[in-house]
Structure 1
Amino acid sequence: MKTNMNKRQYAYKVIRTRIVDGTYAPGQRIIINQIAKEVGSSHIPVREAIHQLESEKLLEFKPNIGAIVKGIDNQLYKESLEVLALLEGYATAISATSITADGITKLKEINREMKIMLDNYELDKLGALNREFHFHIYSFCPNELLIKNIEETWGRLDIVRQAGFTFYPKRTPQSIEEHETLIQLLEDKASSSSIEQYARNHKLKTLDAFKMRS
């Protein structure tokens, strides 16, 4: 039997997944009654899930309408990348102190797969592999709150990524090359400051590419 908290989490997962995969389009209203029936709960857990998604900037409240899916917001995207640059730089640096040899081997495998996908122009798989690459590093991060904040910020970017706004032909191969350098820094046990700076700049270069395109 689901507790109220579990029902809220389930409703949150259902709504968020549909936003990210495009089932719920920007501007679409979230019908509380419908979601409550689907997840088998009262309105309360669904409302709580909606409030959480509003705080994550995936939904917004419109008077006389209710919660709707937020549209693509270039300013929010830019600000989120700036925040990620700081968070991911630090997370990568502190993950470096505990990453294992097997962990580094896995990073090399993921990056090789990214090269193959780029060569084959299988662009739909590149985003997932890029996420896997970075979050594999963060799996060695001891700060759970930091990772939660990174996950939430990535979530705010998922709608834009889903819409295909974040593939930059020139930036993508550069990003893969930067992964190689980052792997080498981790393998060489470089200083925390140099790893943090490199990881931060890696994200900021994506922001620069977005600014040039937007």
Structure 2
Amino acid sequence: MHTSLEVRFRGKRLLIDFGEDWLPHAADLHVDAIVLTHGHPDHAWGLKRGAPCPVYATEATWKVISEFEIRDRHIMQPGRAFRIAGFSVEAFAVEHSIRCPAVGFRVTAGKKSFFYAPDIVAIVDRSAALSQVQLYIGDGATIERSLVRRSGEYVIGHTPIRTQIGWCEKEAVPQAIFTHCGTEIVSSDPAESLARVAALGEERNVQASIAWDGLEIDL
């Protein structure tokens, strides 16, 4: 299934992304709000027929999905924290796509914070985005081989897990989990991939692992 993350805190539920695979289940959602990282089909097109709650996205994302049947729309501005369903959510610009500009989210509930960016080449203001974050949830497209390419003056694609673990080390983020996994992970032996990622984390003093469908984390 396309990557989607539900966050729960004191009875409130926040959903991050809802890709096209989930479209048949949109009417069954029981969440207080949805936020979208960007407008690609595997992150937003599960909402083509509407949403049962408020939806938050950047102006750039709303332009991409302008024809979706979503009534309760809210525009997020990168660099400004929004109070959404009991959570503090701040969008940070990331490099990934030209046609669908993306953001990552720092989500805070109580005294705990995590950063979520499932498609990423780079975080524009990485130090600010990862400040005081206990968990980084990042792009699992590739473990060590770069999928970054240049398109004119822009860089697009996916940076490898190895590089993202390095970001966590530099910004003192103790734990990293990688989702939205690519062929290198999903077509290989799960134990081997988990071991490779854990070893890369040990080199940088970061607890690193790979997400799977149905994974639950207590932060």
Please state which structure has a larger fraction of its residues in helix.
1
Which structure has more relative contact order (CA 8 Å, sep 6+)? It is: 1
Larger Rg: 1
Alignment TM-score > 0.5, same fold:
no
TM-score by length of 1: 0.28
Task: Please state which structure has a larger fraction of its residues in strand.
Answer: 2
